[in-house]
Amino acid sequence: MIKKDIIEKIEGEADVVFTQKNGLIKDVNLTFPYMRGVESILEGRDYRDALVIAPRVCGICSHSHLIAAVHTIEDGMRREKIKFTLSDKARHIRDFAIACELIQNHIKWFYLTILPQIYKVNHLEVPNDLIKKASKATYAITKAMAIFTGQWPHASYVVPGGVSCDPSYVEIMQAKALVDEVLELVRASLFDDTKEIRAIGDLHRALEMLQRADLLSTSHGSEHFLALADTFFSKSGEYKGATRFDVDIKKVKESQREDSKAKEALYGNDFVEVGPLARALINQDAIIMRLQKEHSGNIWSRIFARVYEGYVLLLKAKEALESIDVSEPSCVLEHNKKDISFAGIGIVEAARGSLIHEVVVKDNHIHTYNIITPSQWNLSRGSADKKGVARASVVGARSKEEAYLILRSFDLCSVCTTQ
């Protein structure tokens, strides 16, 4: 039996076609019918326009796209020996803001996407308070971010050589209080960290329901993981067969599908999984390594790793705030060339995984701009013999609701795949 659905509750639109046999999902095909054309829109514009337009790729990961865009420009400037200095103050502010974006992403994903779907798989009524729990935490962390960014989403406070904000000690203290507020909520509803990291409350409830639905005995993921960026909270690397390797950006490939506006992304000739679980395994985090071994890469590993990364990032966000020296300059850009040409690449670890921006600039204007998003990695279709990561994970699901849960564990995004 073949059944086609439109996936709801995602950024943008996507179609999914399930093929079932004897009550089991035998295959799934995700297609993205609409293209937004952000890469084409950028062509011919002043290279600095990328700092305003690129964040509009996505209303969920807009800050990640902003940071990727500025990294791309700064990389090109370094290659052309164009002088600028990024102060520790500017770096800490950027790190804090991206931590905030990932934290609110992870919390909303858990409460508004994953947890409701787990209830549905168990044929239980979805509680009315999940939206309230998500809103309370994400409102506070977004407010903390906006102290520095001015707004979220689509902030444009980042510029080559630094940031345009100049926070006071009072504003930094306000941000710390908001981070502590979110930490309290996380410790009350998700994690007990008094002795060791232990799932409690809503997170433990998710585990119980997955166990009841018999979703802990089957693998729903990849054995090949990738993180392309070195960040303040994670390292780059490739993790395959329980072995970690260094990454080579030259091995990244893209291909265009005939039936979809989304391009596929491969590392070498392999489909790989990106995201919080990949980052934790590459970082060889003891908690996630143990979890992965115990559960053989089932859906619980991916869920726990993402929520756990949100907790880790709250602690990293506090460190970033405490490291800001207000006496340092916010931005130092020393060049005064009127017309510059360069090629650059910027890589960021966004909520869903590795994000790449590439640009070629000729006489101040963008000649080409290319974006590879996390969704392209995880949602690549592949072929019958060599399936993409999410597609392969769905095979064997016992119902459409179970298949949706597995797909949503990769966090579907349409607009990010169709820039």
**What is the amino acid identity at position 122?**
N
For residues 34 and 415, what is the distance between their CA atoms, to the nearest angstrom? 9
pLDDT in tens, 114-124: 999 999 999 99
pLDDT of 251 reads 97
Would you state the structure tokens that stand for residue 281, as one six-digit string?
Answer: 């395994």
**What is the amino acid identity at position 330?**
S
What's the fold here for domain 2-411?
Cytochrome-c3 Hydrogenase; chain B (1.10.645)
> Does the CA dihedral 173-179-185-189 come out positive or negative?
negative
Model pTM score: 0.94
For residues 210 and 135, what is the distance between their CA atoms, to the nearest angstrom? 24
| Domain ranges (residues) in the chain | 2-411
For residues 119 and 339, what is the distance between their CA atoms, to the nearest angstrom? 57
Instruction: Please report, in tens digits, the pLDDT of each residue of the chain (419 residues total).
Output: 565 665 665 666 778 888 888 889 898 888 887 787 889 999 999 999 999 999 988 888 899 999 999 999 999 999 998 888 899 999 999 999 999 999 999 999 999 999 999 999 999 999 999 999 999 999 999 999 999 999 888 888 999 999 999 999 999 999 999 999 999 999 999 999 988 899 999 999 999 999 999 998 877 778 899 999 999 999 999 999 889 999 999 999 998 877 777 889 999 999 999 999 999 999 999 999 998 888 777 899 999 999 999 999 999 999 999 999 999 999 988 776 778 999 999 999 999 999 999 999 999 999 999 999 998 999 888 888 888 998 899 899 998 899 889 989 988 776 677 66
pLDDT of 211 reads 95
For residues 23 and 20, what is the distance between their CA atoms, to the nearest angstrom? 6
Tell me, what DSSP letter sits at residue 387?
Answer: B
| Residues above pLDDT 90, as percent of the chain | 69
Q: Which residue has the tokens 């059944």?
A: 3
